[in-house]
Amino acid sequence: MKAIVVTGTPGTGKTFVAEYIAKRLGFQRVDINRWKKELSIGFDRKRNTTILDIKKLNAKLIKEIRGSRRPLVIDSHVAHELPPRYTLLCIVTHCSLKELKRRLTQRKYSTAKIRENLDAEIFDVCRTEAVENGHSVIEIDTGKPGWQQKVLHVAKLHLNKESSSRGV
Ligand SMILES: Nc1ncnc2c1ncn2[C@@H]1O[C@H](COP(=O)(O)OP(=O)(O)OP(=O)(O)O)[C@@H](O)[C@H]1O
Ligand SMILES: [Mg+2]
């Protein structure tokens, strides 16, 4: 079973969207936070964040995907590093810069960390990398109504396409 990966700048709503997909479409959500310790290859003091071993992360995700009877949904700002042959679709979450600043301020992020994430959103880092990695990408704005319908529609379309390619 393949996975939907949800990527995007921190705070743009990946987890919110992944939980919605799990609830509405019966996907199993993979919370990679529980692997943080074993996948850590260091700590970025400046950014106050764990640096993950992407190779190991992908190996673990591929094992989960192969072993699962249900399609998976994986939310992380590095989820687009998973090779596209294991994915149905890559969703990139966005929200307005004003909304992002509000959400990150609410999380009590430092001014530098907020600035860095706003810059990542402005430069569209996650979407650019996802496209470069060959993913089939859709973008949603979690701050505006209507993203739910788009996500459900596109996810169902890709699920059907995958089922027919497997002859199910
Ligand atoms: N569609 C939405 N409607 C209302 N609130 C939202 C929506 N999407 C996200 N939020 C809120 O914005 C905040 C950040 O969302 P979320 O935790 O899903 O972001 P994230 O991209 O998973 O962040 P991180 O990269 O840190 O895990 C949360 O408080 C969440 O409840
Ligand atoms: Mg999250």
The pLDDT of 18-38, averaged and rounded, is 96
Predicted confidence band of residue 110 (pLDDT cuts 50, 70, 90): very high
Residues 89 and 138: beta-carbon distance below 8 Å? yes
Beta bridge partners of 60: none
The pLDDT of 24-39, averaged and rounded, is 96
Residue 166 has what pLDDT?
79
The pLDDT of 139-150, averaged and rounded, is 98
Q: Within a 10 A sphere around the Cβ of 136, how many other Cβ atoms?
A: 13
pLDDT digits 0-9 by tens, 62-98:
999 999 999 999 999 999 999 999 999 999 999 999 9
CA distance 121 to 104: 13
Nearest residue by C-alpha to atom 29 in ligand 1: 103
Question: Per-residue pLDDT for 168 more than 80?
Answer: no
The pLDDT of 120-145, averaged and rounded, is 98
CATH topology for 3-162 is Rossmann fold (3.40.50)
Residue 167 has what pLDDT?
81
Nearest residue by C-alpha to atom 26 in ligand 1: 10
CA distance 23 to 17: 10
Residue to mutate, 103, 117, 118, ligand 1, most ligand atoms under 8 Å from C-beta: 103
- The full set of domain ranges for the chain reads 3-162
Of all residues in the chain, what percent are helix, strand and coil, respectively (each to 5)? 55, 20, 25
11 CB within 6 A, ligand 1 = yes
